[in-house]
Amino acid sequence: MTTTPEHDERIAKMTFSSVYPHYVTKVERKGRTTAELHQVIEWLTGFDSKKLEHLIDEKVTFETFFKRANLNPNANLITGLICGYRIEDIENELTRQARYLDKLVDELAKGRKMEKILRKG
């Protein structure tokens, strides 16, 4: 399933700060912590909690967020369905990266073990 240019553009222009509270709510509602969420985000992007806070305050778009990220070399191991899309089949790089993050948050909320989420085996 391919994404539409409109879909890709919408993701690119969405601000990380508008989505972040939903990530927090989702994981906390399932008994996980913000610290665990930050661990997952740091694994994917290289952003520690302080840098994350700065990016939220700056209201960066997902496009800027992922341009500044140092994506984990194992990010391509994140596969499966998210929001109706098979991650490994998403052609647009930015959209695929945003879905990587969605998938990791989803796995965290579903109670998956951290070493599995962080693709450690």
Q: Which residues pair with 82 in a beta bridge?
A: 85
pLDDT (0 to 100) of residue 121: 56
Report the SS3 class of residue 96: helix
Cα first-last separation, the chain: 28
Provide the CATH topology of domain 5-114.
Answer: Helicase, Ruva Protein; domain 3 (1.10.8)
pLDDT (0 to 100) of residue 83: 81
For the chain, the structural domain boundaries read 5-114
Query: What pTM does this model have?
Result: 0.94
pLDDT (0 to 100) of residue 104: 98
Q: What is the pLDDT along the chain (121 residues), one digit of tens a residue?
A: 578 999 999 999 999 999 999 999 999 999 999 999 999 999 999 999 999 999 999 999 999 999 999 999 999 999 999 988 899 999 999 999 999 999 999 999 999 999 999 997 5
Q: Give the tokens for residue 116.
A: 């599995």
